[in-house]
Amino acid sequence: MAVNAGSSSLKFQLINMPSEEVITSGLVERIGQEVGNFVIKVNGEKIQTQTPIPDHQVAVDLLLNALVDHHIVESLEEIDAVGHRVVHGGEDFDDSVVVDEEAVKKVADLAELAPLHNPANIIGYKAFKEALPDHVGHVFVFDTAFHQTLDKERYLYPLPLEYYTDLKVRKYGAHGTSHKYVSQQAIEMLGNPKESRIIVCHLGNGASVSAVQDGKCIDTSMGFTPLAGIMMGTRSGDVDPSVIDYLIEEVGLDMKEVIKMLNKESGLLGVSGVSSDFRDVQEAAANGNERAQLALDIFFRRVIAYIGRYFIALGGVDAICFTAGIGENSFFARKEICNLLAEALGIEIDDDANVNGKGDRLISTPNSKVKVYVIPTNEELVIARDTKRLLNL
Ligand code: AMP
């Protein structure tokens, strides 16, 4: 069972290993609100239940009972292990880990760095631990672990060094599970060469770019928090920090309000004034909305700025990969980004493969100097694979 528990939601996939077949998937939403929502796939059909779901324990019980009631499993004994996504592993975890008391304590301590996420991840773990027999193994899979291979000169901010040594202020990155999965798929698609230079563009509502050399992440665009890097649905990405002080002085906002603005009111939403959803912004731009067009133009330029930076860091690039909501689904976004790179990197896109293809695929032409791939991300599969590997199942 691969689990992604948020503060008011819980997504799950039950995966048969080693065949990697998804047996069922679904989510519980609005945990703690008056009426919760539970969706589970049974024989390919989504079954939805609306009922009060006061806490994560109730959510987990609801989900486990549904597995048995719908005969997805005959008994809960069939579940061998649970892999839990954990947002922040700090410097303590450079790989997934079998859960023990020490791991729980460390994840709880790291809540200082991810106050919205880590506590929810622990609550999710405890609910499954409580509901399933004791022999069921649990594994934490960290969203930061893949980025722990960054060198000091790339993860350190040029601040007084004490802020790192005393307070661990540094770049951690995020979306690591996705960057790991996509870069591994790309290496396979390149024919498993010994040496490879890959740039992964995870373009969803949250968005990040990473540079992967010979399977190891050497740099990534998110920072101390997921606010840094490229422009996102509602997040600004990189801005000069002096803007914060200026807005506090000039507009009379307080610090919390400015940080909220940067996280929730910026990005595609803030520039376009239309929506944080790429499709809405694209549609508005096509209908002549100039702010929407400007939002798209900034978005694309911020993506290529990181690609350029990582091209240099990697000493060249063999493959650029697109993944997540925008990266997987928008042939328009891929084409615009690749057009902006065409001259500098000698990229040529195969329009038919870009527009009409499905699943993992090459979308560049044989003449292209860089291969361009679309690789739908699969974080749940990484969670299942790591869980199986660490528990020797
Ligand atoms: P994610 O956070 O990975 O679920 O991605 C969400 C983003 O993907 C939103 O901005 C959506 O508008 C965008 N998205 C999803 N499907 C499409 C599509 N067919 N074309 C363009 N953008 C899409």
364 Cα to the center of ligand 1, angstroms: 22
> For residue 124, which of 82, 77, 88 has the smallest C-alpha distance?
82
Q: Give the whole-angstrom CA distance, residue 193 versus residue 146.
A: 20
Residue closest via CA to ligand 1's atom 21 equals 330
332 Cα to the center of ligand 1, angstroms: 12
Q: Give the whole-angstrom CA distance, residue 132 versus residue 71.
A: 17
> For residue 337, which of 310, 375, 385, 305 has the smallest C-alpha distance?
305
203 Cα to the center of ligand 1, angstroms: 8
With a cut of 70, list the residues of the chain below it in pLDDT: none
User: Residue 142's Cα: distance from chain center in Å?
Assistant: 11
Query: Which of 182, 268, 269, 279 for mutating ligand 1's site (highest number of atoms within 8 Å of CB)?
Result: 279
Instruction: List active site positions.
Output: 143
Residues 6+ apart with CB under 8 A from 282: 292, 296, 330, 332
Query: Which of 181, 201, 202, 205 for mutating ligand 1's site (highest number of atoms within 8 Å of CB)?
Result: 205
Ligand 1 binding residues, C-beta < 6 A: 204-205, 233, 277-279, 324-326, 329-330
pLDDT at 115: 82
Query: Which of 274, 296, 326, 377 for mutating ligand 1's site (highest number of atoms within 8 Å of CB)?
Result: 326
255 Cα to the center of ligand 1, angstroms: 31
Q: Give the whole-angstrom CA distance, residue 206 versus residue 263.
A: 10
Q: Which atom of ligand 1 is nearest to the CA of 205?
A: 2
Query: What does the block give as tokens for 340?
Result: 């902006």
pLDDT at 338: 98
290 Cα to the center of ligand 1, angstroms: 21
Q: Which atom of ligand 1 is nearest to the CA of 202?
A: 3
Q: Which atom of ligand 1 is nearest to the CA of 280?
A: 12
204 Cα to the center of ligand 1, angstroms: 6
Residue closest via CA to ligand 1's atom 20 equals 330
Residue closest via CA to ligand 1's atom 23 equals 326
pLDDT at 197: 98
> For residue 49, which of 63, 33, 64, 32 has the smallest C-alpha distance?
63
387 Cα to the center of ligand 1, angstroms: 29
pLDDT at 358: 93
User: Would you tell me how many other CB atoms lie within 10 Å of the CB of residue 333?
Assistant: 22
Query: Which of 143, 330, 375 for mutating ligand 1's site (highest number of atoms within 8 Å of CB)?
Result: 330
- Between helix 176-189 and helix 379-390 the angle, nearest 10°, is 90
pLDDT at 116: 80
Residues 6+ apart with CB under 8 A from 121: 5, 84, 85, 86, 87, 107, 140
Q: Give the whole-angstrom CA distance, residue 199 versus residue 264.
A: 27
**Burial of 263 from C-beta contacts in 10 A (0-12 / 13-18 / 19+):** middle
Q: Which atom of ligand 1 is nearest to the CA of 377?
A: 3
